[in-house]
Amino acid sequence: MNKITVHCTVNHKPVAVEIDPNKRLLDMLREDLNLTSVKEGCSEGECGACTVIFNGEPVTSCCVLAGQAEGADIITLEGVSVDGKPDVVQQAFMDAGAVQCGFCTPGMILTAEALLAKNPAPTEEEVKQAMSGNLCRCTGYAKIVEAVLLAAERARGGV
Amino acid sequence: MKRRGTGVGCMFYGVGNTGLPNPAAAFVQVLPDTSVHVTVGAADIGQGSSTMAASVAAETLGLNYEDIHVVWADTMYAPEGGATSASRQTFITGNAVKNACQTAMGELKRTASEELNVPEEDLVFRKREIYSNKDASVRMTYPELMAAMGKKGRLAVGAGYYNPKTTYLSPVDMSGVPYELYSYATCILEVEVDTDTGEVSLLKAVSAHDVGTPIGIKLVEGQIEGGTAMGTGFVISEKIDVDPKTLAIKNPTLSKYIIETSMDVPVVYPIVVSSEGEAGPFGAKGVGEPALIPSIPATIAAINDAIGSSFTSTPIFPADIVKAWKEQQKTQG
Ligand code: FES
Ligand code: FES
């Protein structure tokens, strides 16, 4: 198969990756760019573990062909921390106790980042709605929702 | 029509194996800089056994949580930890860590006793200080103690293990002591049932758990919240579909085995009940499985209360509910 070259921005840096045209974005990020925070849970767009921020939207990267990322702006969990330190959402997940096994956490945090970028003051209902595409088997979501609300409050300069 | 119902589920649950040997071990060393290496075999799958091990070590040694480094589940270095199952790691590995720390404290006590001129049994180790329980002004800091240990060429090391006191069950009548301790819980849960669509909305769950002495309240709450989501899901949406001929699981995908999302879970009010005198470390008990168990009968009872049905098994799908409601209407005429 002839390889194709995908040009896009990943975690604020322009990259050009040569790949098989049938490769999924998930695999390009994990295998070619070594961004292993992107998790594969279900491979069918159900669980949200593979979520990345794709042109500002949370997208399940298992359902995107890498070629579709041409020209796109992609953020993974590795691109969220600031100077190697947790950002406000990551810190809130830790403080609220929103992480158990951690497998859903990268996707949860990216979905929360995308939500808060658009809606800095979401209601609890809006948070639950936004996070409903990300499954978590461990936490029952209570502390995840709490973490997103806490992050929103802190980012707005509260607590 | 939307109808509400409330159900209650109670349980007691044996922590550990049923009447079988069930040990776990730990290694501990307090280093000259007062940091501590704890090595356990327990696999932390997110429930927090490593956090628990660090808390138990800090409390036993009189150091801070931040002083403790836990290496876990690496079979190249760690002693036997047994399975992360049966809600047993807090109880059994926790006691193993405590025992290992107590062994490591032999030399610490001997040294502190010589330095402070206080009998070993009168020494208190707390918050990075060592003092006499007769006169708290007779004291030294942990760094001072470790310096004294260094001068005398002594090391604070310990290995320990724990095996719960149980007996094999009699093959004749199954009598015996299957578990050394039990956890207790009650869950009260409210649902709203749509009798036209059969859909069940999980509204609220109040779930109270006797966990002995809680080690890390936030972790215990997280277990209860997650367990309630699993237990309720077990009733309203989760079914492992097994092919009766091949015994293959027919729905091993998340699009066919439906677990609750953030929109589906009830609002959970966890109540952590402490009790005293249990055999776990500092009186702690397991909460892993107890977290989910009572929410299952509570959900079934709540559905039955809402529509006057008499379901006794899981799962209960919308079609089952519509059918039960229709039958119920018929019999009422
Ligand atoms: S792996 Fe992509 S949604 Fe589950
Ligand atoms: S923390 Fe385990 S799946 Fe969410």
Domains and CATH numbers, chain A: 4-79 (3.10.20.30), 88-155 (1.10.150.120)
Q: For residue B226, which residues of chain A lie inside 8 Å, CB to CB?
A: 100, 136-140
Q: In this complex, which of A99, A129, A139 lies closest to B263 when CB atoms are compared?
A: A129
CA-based nearest residue to B286, from B13, B11, B101, B26: B13
Q: In this complex, which of B46, B219, B262 lies closest to A102 when CB atoms are compared?
A: B46
- Sequence-distant (≥ 6) Cβ neighbours of residue B160 within 8 angstroms: B25, B26, B28, B96, B97, B98, B99, B100, B101, B102, B103
Specify if B287 maps to a domain. yes
SS3 B161: strand
Q: Say if A142 is an interface residue toward chain B (CB within 8 Å).
A: yes
Per-residue pLDDT, B86:
86
In chain B, which residues have pLDDT < 70? 333
Bridge-based pairing of strands A51-54 and A73-75 is antiparallel
Where among B130, B162, B194 does a domain terminate?
B162
Q: Say if A129 is an interface residue toward chain B (CB within 8 Å).
A: yes
Q: What is the mean pLDDT of chain B?
A: 95
Q: Say if B233 is an interface residue toward chain A (CB within 8 Å).
A: no
Q: Are A22 and A65 in contact (CB under 8 A)?
A: yes
Number of domains observed in the structure of chain B: 2
Q: Are B79 and B25 in contact (CB under 8 A)?
A: yes
Report the nearest atom of ligand 1 relative to the CA of A62: 2
CA-based nearest residue to B16, from B160, B158, B167: B167
Two tokens at B73?
């589940």
Q: Are residues B156 and B198 in the same domain?
A: no
CA-based nearest residue to B3, from B138, B190, B171: B190
Q: For residue A47, which residues of chain B lie inside 8 Å, CB to CB?
A: 254
Q: Are residues B7 and B44 in the same domain?
A: no
Where among B132, B162, B192 does a domain terminate?
B162
SS3 B218: helix
Whole-structure pTM value: 0.94
Distance CA A127, CA A116 (A): 9
Specify if B285 maps to a domain. yes
Out of B66, B114, B289, B327, the active site residue is B289
A139 lines ligand 2 (CB under 6 A): yes
Q: Is B180 an annotated catalytic residue?
A: no
Q: For residue A142, which residues of chain B lie inside 8 Å, CB to CB?
A: 221, 225, 265, 267-268
SS3 B3: strand
How near does any CA of chain B get to the CA of A50, in Å? 14
A147 lines ligand 2 (CB under 6 A): no
Q: Are residues B149 and B194 in the same domain?
A: no
Q: Are residues B158 and B68 in the same domain?
A: yes
Q: Are residues B325 and B246 in the same domain?
A: yes
Q: Where residue B86 sits, what CATH number does that domain have?
A: 3.30.365.10
DSSP per position, B257-310: S----TTTSPEEEEEEE-----SSGGGB---TTTTTTTHHHHHHHHHHHHHT--
* Phi, psi of B29, deg, nearest 5: -140, 130
Q: Say if B49 is an interface residue toward chain A (CB within 8 Å).
A: no
Q: Are residues B146 and B114 in the same domain?
A: yes
Give the range of the structural domain holding residue B108, as residue numbers without chain letter. Answer: 24-162
Specify if B217 maps to a domain. yes
How near does any CA of chain A get to the CA of B225, in Å? 5
Q: For residue A92, which residues of chain B lie inside 8 Å, CB to CB?
A: none
Burial class (CB in 10 A: 0-12, 13-18, 19+), B298: buried
Specify if B173 maps to a domain. no
Two tokens at B53?
């091990």
SS3 B45: coil
Per-residue pLDDT, A157:
87
Crossing angle of helices A142-155 and B217-236, in 10° steps, is: 120
Q: Are residues B228 and B198 in the same domain?
A: yes
Kindly determine whether residue A143 and residue B221, on different chains, have CB atoms separated by under 8 Å: yes
- Which ligand ends up closest to the CA of A38? 1
Q: Are B214 and B277 in contact (CB under 8 A)?
A: no
Using the Cα atoms of residue A121, residue A125, residue A130 and residue A135 in order, give the sign of their dihedral: positive
Q: Are residues B265 and B125 in the same domain?
A: no
Q: Are residues B45 and B136 in the same domain?
A: yes
Which residue, judged by its Cα, is nearest atom 2 of ligand 2? A101
Two tokens at B145?
């103690």
pLDDT-based confidence at residue A159 (cuts at 50, 70, 90):
low
Show the CA angle centred on residue B133, arms to residues B132 and B137, nearest 5°.
50
Residue in chain A lying closest to B228 (CA): A140
Per-residue pLDDT, B159:
98
Distance CA A99, CA A50 (A): 16
Specify if B303 maps to a domain. yes
Where among B137, B162, B187 does a domain terminate?
B162
pLDDT-based confidence at residue A158 (cuts at 50, 70, 90):
low
Kindly determine whether residue A42 and residue B254, on different chains, have CB atoms separated by under 8 Å: yes
How near does any CA of chain B get to the CA of A148, in Å? 12
- Which ligand ends up closest to the CA of A141? 2
- Other beta carbons within 10 angstroms of residue A13's beta carbon come to 9
Q: Are residues B80 and B125 in the same domain?
A: yes
Per-residue pLDDT, B70:
98
Q: Say if B175 is an interface residue toward chain A (CB within 8 Å).
A: no
Q: Compute and round to an integer the Cα radius of gyration of chain B.
A: 25
Kindly determine whether residue B259 and residue A139, on different chains, have CB atoms separated by under 8 Å: no
Per-residue pLDDT, B161:
97
Per-residue pLDDT, B277:
77
Q: Are residues B308 and B250 in the same domain?
A: yes
Specify if B271 maps to a domain. yes
Specify if B116 maps to a domain. yes
Q: For residue B262, which residues of chain A lie inside 8 Å, CB to CB?
A: 127-128, 131-132, 134, 136, 141, 144-145
CA of B18 to the centre of ligand 1 (A): 38
A43 lines ligand 1 (CB under 6 A): yes
Distance CA B97, CA B215 (A): 14
Per-residue pLDDT, A152:
98
- Other beta carbons within 10 angstroms of residue B327's beta carbon come to 12
CA-based nearest residue to B279, from B177, B168, B128, B169: B177
Q: Are residues B120 and B201 in the same domain?
A: no
Which residue, judged by its Cα, is nearest atom 3 of ligand 1? A45
Q: Say if B215 is an interface residue toward chain A (CB within 8 Å).
A: no
Specify if B249 maps to a domain. yes
Per-residue pLDDT, A129:
98
Residue type present at position A35: L
Per-residue pLDDT, B28:
98
Kindly determine whether residue A134 and residue B265, on different chains, have CB atoms separated by under 8 Å: no
